[in-house]
Structure 1
Amino acid sequence: MSASKMFSVLLLVHLLLLAPSSSIEPISTAAFIGVTTAVTSLVTYYTGAKPHFAVFCYMWECCAEGGNYIGLNEDQLEKDLKETLFGQHLVHKIVVKAIKNFVKKPNPSKALALSFHGWSGTGKNFVSNMIVKNLYKQGLNSIFVHYFVATKHFPHADHVQKYKDDLQKWIQGNVSLCQRSLFVFDEMDKMHPGLIDAIKPFLDFHIVLDNVNYRKSIFIFLSNAGGMKINHITMEFWKEGKDRESIRMVDVEPFLQMGAFNEKTSGFWHASLIDKHLVDFFVPFLPLEQRHVRMCINAEIEARRLEFTSSEEKERIIDSVLDEMTYFPHLERIFASMGCKAVSAKLDVHI
């Protein structure tokens, strides 16, 4: 094939690949499955090989096994969690190990499914972004990473069947392009019941489904559901004088699984994903104490490289931000109601 024709093919492929990444609206995905097939066939026809060829991978992000764009930076992920995620020993224990062991398997038995639970501001989105950053060279800009927000992408209860159909086509199209695709479903507690079961075939123990292998994909669910139970358990440990680090997965995970399945307002209500045990880990994010929020403020200051005239001035700023946060129980002021979510905005005011 001539150089000019090769460039034309690459340009067409690049434009077609970029099209769905500009918006993750599942409504417009009916045509995407056809585009995916056309792109794959076109590149295969011109190269006589896989669509992940050297020139394409040099110029644009591709999904080549052992390539430069996808690969877990395990040490950096552990370092990021240690230095920027506070008060979440169970998250530290589960997430790195689950991602590391899954990515290392050449032929996993099923796609990895992680469900993050806890109140707002405890780090669910933060950790999912951290996983993305350390698994994909392009991070959140990777065309193989896909975010769905329940209230934005699935707002209407009377459109659930259409959402389910479009969601299946979207996932099939994207995994056809890259088996190592990652999908994040945010606001699971606001998702219409029954909708998430559309992805059950992709999480099940199928070797191949319609000529597509989904077993290397990763699905992450983010939910506030179960937050009250997590808070109650953490509070009981505090009342009994027990260290929060002594809380184990077995103390929390069964309640999260059962609660998500039985909570009528949750997207997991009576979901076959739970009934068939297709979610691998229900990861609890504990409520943050004042000391953890202090760490968040200090980390934000360091990240911004803010300078102060003295250490006393820095501590005064940190104390001022802490004082403006809301806590529970009201009298004891132990746990931050919003975790670290408001830290950045409140710091803006005081600097």
Structure 2
Amino acid sequence: MKAAHLCLLLHVFLTASVLVHTFDPLTTTVVLGIGATLGRTIYNYLHESCDPKWITFNATGLQADLERKMFGQHIASRIILKAVTGFMSNDNPKKPLVLSLHGWTGTGKNFVSELIANNIYKEGMDSSFVHVFTSELHFPHAKQFDTYKSQLQQWIKGNVSNCGRSMFIFDEMDKMHPGLIDSIKPYLDYYDKLDGVSYRKAIFIFLSNAGGENIVQTALDFWKAGRGREEIELKDLEALLSLSVFNNKQSGLWHTSLIDKNLVDFFVPFLPLEYGHVVQCAMAEMNARELPPNLKVAKQVAKDLVYFPKAERVFSVKGCKTIESKLNYYT
């Protein structure tokens, strides 16, 4: 239906262009006006813009994605669903949404960022309103610290000026130069506008391995005590997590005013994954590739990963990080 609609618009636009050369000047002016309007319509149809046609939050879709595609992260899934749904349902938030996701590699931090984007933006992670910064790529040299601060401020301001519903994802926060992220602190605060720009509808997501040791230790303590991982609650980790990240000199959030001024809305812990979760990851990857489900292969892939503690083999060292490449070997 959409394709037919677009073809009709193009047909009318081309017809109008031909008619320009047929009629008198007055009629030509009218036809040109119609053609210009149709041209703008076609452009807006094809090009992403900052409006509900391209940016519409799908709360049901996010919930379904978290339930079906996120494995072993009951705390993270619950927090993210409530935080994002509450924020996107508010037409006049007091500040941007700021989420800090923590955990070892392969536990789902990048993946859940993708799920959030997919359920807000029609183009998902390919949206021109989703911006990803990677520390080692965008901020590699300590000597250029001041330059990075200025550039980061300009990037954030420019993109939010273009679309208030922008999303900024900062990957590898544990490798970011301490103090750099503080350069955007005013944009995350409770200001109505700064230099005529409102940042209140933007979303900022920080991804970091920092604090992962504390999360792992808590999961181990529960396991050793014979308690299920589902018994772990946010209160068991959030205060410990924010404190460890704040005091970690290897973290981009070290002594940051974002924590000191309580501008991070949620510190979201990602628990280490167990064998059963890795099997689920392998099965999900098969489904994504439209391969026939093969539980035997999924178990073999999961079995060949490295687990800790070494004797008990409870938690996957790399989570589901290498599932995609390992599945290539077995299929």
Once the two structures are superposed, the pairs formed by residues 94-109 of structure 1 within 5 Å of their partners are: 94-109=79-94
The answer on 1:337 being equivalent to 2:299 is: no
- Secondary structure of 1:146 counterpart: strand
Q: Gaps (5+ residues) in structure 1?
A: 11-53, 309-313
- Counterpart pick for 1:59 among 33, 38, 46: 46
Match of 1:78 among 63, 74, 82: 63
For the residues of structure 1 that align with 2:35 and 2:316, how far apart are their CA atoms?
Answer: 60
Inter-CA distance 6–212: structure 2 relative to 1 (3 Å threshold): farther
Q: Specify whether residues 199 and 76 from structure 1 end up closer, same or farther in structure 2 by C-alpha distance, changes over 3 A only.
A: same
Q: CA deviation at 1:198?
A: 0.9
Asked whether the equivalents of residues 283 and 295 of structure 2 are also in contact (C-alpha less than 8 Å), the reply is: no
CA distance in 2, matches of 1:305, 1:56: 34
2-side partners of 1:289 and 1:57: how far apart? 47
Q: Which runs of 4+ in 1 moved over 6 A?
A: none
Matches within 5 A, 1:139-218: 139-218=124-203
- Partners in 2 of 1:68 and 1:245 — Cα distance? 39
- Determine the C-alpha separation between the residues in 2 that align with 1:211 and 1:114: 25
Structure 1 position 305, deviation (Å): 2.2
Partner residue, 1:110: 95
Q: What residue ranges of structure 2 are gaps of 5+ in the alignment?
A: 1-28
Cα pair 2:75 2:233 within 8 Å, conserved: yes
Distance 1:319 1:178, change over 3 A: same
TM-score for the superposition, normalised by structure 2:
0.87
CA distance in 1 between partners of 2:178 and 2:92 (Å)? 32
Q: Give the whole-Å Cα distance in 1 for the aligned partners of 2:244 and 2:178.
A: 14
State how far apart, in whole Å, the 2-side matches of 1:110 and 1:5 are: 42
CA drift at 1:243: 1.1
Q: CA deviation at 1:103?
A: 0.8
Q: How is 1:1-351 mapped onto 2 (pairs within 5 angstroms)?
A: 3=33, 6=36, 57-64=44-51, 67-307=52-292, 314-351=294-331
Cα contact 1:253–1:283 (8 A) shared by 2: yes
CA deviation map 1:165-198 (0-9, x unaligned):
0110111111001000000000000000000001
* CA root-mean-square deviation: 1.8
Give the Cα–Cα distance (whole angstroms) in 1 for the partners of residues 292 and 96 of structure 2. 46
The higher radius of gyration belongs to: 2
Paired residues, number: 301
| Residues 86, 295 of structure 1: 8 Å contact kept | yes
- Aligned identity (percent) is 50
